[in-house]
Amino acid sequence: MSTPSSSAEVGVIGGSGFYSFLDDAEEVIVDTPYGPPSDPITIGELAGRRVAFVPRHGRDHRFPPHRIPYRANLWALRSLGVRQVLAPSAVGSLTPDHGPGTLAVPDQLTDRTRNRTQTYYDDGAAIHISFSDPYCPAGRQTVLASARTAGWPPVDGGTLVVIEGPRFSTRAESKWFAAQGWTLIGMTGHPEAVLARELALCYTPLCLVTDFDAGVEEGEGVTMEEVYRVFGENIDRLRTLVTDVIASLPAERTCPCPRTLDGMKLPLELP
């Protein structure tokens, strides 16, 4: 179980390359009503803030995208005091305008998953949250400003379509997604974003483009080897950016996210 001293204000949900970026880190076991998170939470100091890190896929990458314990991960972070969440991830590009190495900060999300539990409120009451704008506006502006200062011009806006996985898209699927005007494709951004909103957390994506999706260019198509290679080439840059963003996040949340659940009679008690 967590203890009051094992607390944090900012959460990071990420993958390889982020495990050792915290100073004076400690591991914390957190029990949740939804089972254990992907792995013990690591808490430490970074940029003058207390930060909690959860490895999205588990340290040994044992959870494929459709089996990640999303509800446990977000619940565990909130129970530790986290109210602002940064979510770096690898994504594919659905447009030739955003090549590998591009940093994108989408402002919209489309759900094309099939079998993922995407709510905490599936019993006891009908709770309908606002999700018209799925990401924290203050968090997005902080990422955009930090990236520009760092000399990594970001793509401001766009739609991330989240697919079930773990397979990549067919060319026909990819071309259909692009025809809808969607610009990025990934496998983990949903239900993370909606679960964070249901807990009144600020949630901000940092999307690193690692490849062109299958329908964008002719050739072999997307491979894991290519995704890992490009992500590895950019991980230091991404980790530095996350550190800069953490240092710049507002201490007081004046965005709409904290007020998401105002006036609602919830069927469960939030941590």
pLDDT digits (tens, 9 = 90+) for 98-143: 999 999 999 999 999 999 999 999 999 999 999 999 999 999 999 9
pTM: 0.95
Q: Which of 23, 39, 107, 213 is catalytic?
A: 213
3-state secondary structure at position 30 = coil
CA distance 49 to 56: 21
Residue 5's pLDDT is 54
Residue from 143, 153, 166, 12 nearest 89 by CA: 12
Q: Is 211 a catalytic residue?
A: yes
Q: Which of 123, 211, 244, 262 is catalytic?
A: 211
Show the beta-strand stretches assigned E in 32-151.
Answer: 41-46, 49-55, 84-93, 103-105, 108-112
In the chain, the N- to C-terminal Cα span, in Å, equals: 13
- Decide if pLDDT at 4 tops 60: no
Percent helix, strand and coil across the chain, each rounded to 5?
A: 25, 25, 50
Q: Is 31 a catalytic residue?
A: no
CA distance 131 to 128: 9
Q: Which CATH architecture has domain 10-257?
A: 3-Layer(aba) Sandwich (3.40)
pLDDT digits (tens, 9 = 90+) for 47-99: 999 999 999 999 989 999 999 999 999 999 999 999 999 999 999 999 999 99
In the chain, where the domains are located: 10-257
CA distance 109 to 92: 14
- Decide if pLDDT at 2 tops 50: no
Structure tokens that stand for 91 in this block: 């994504």
Residue from 37, 45, 52 nearest 87 by CA: 52
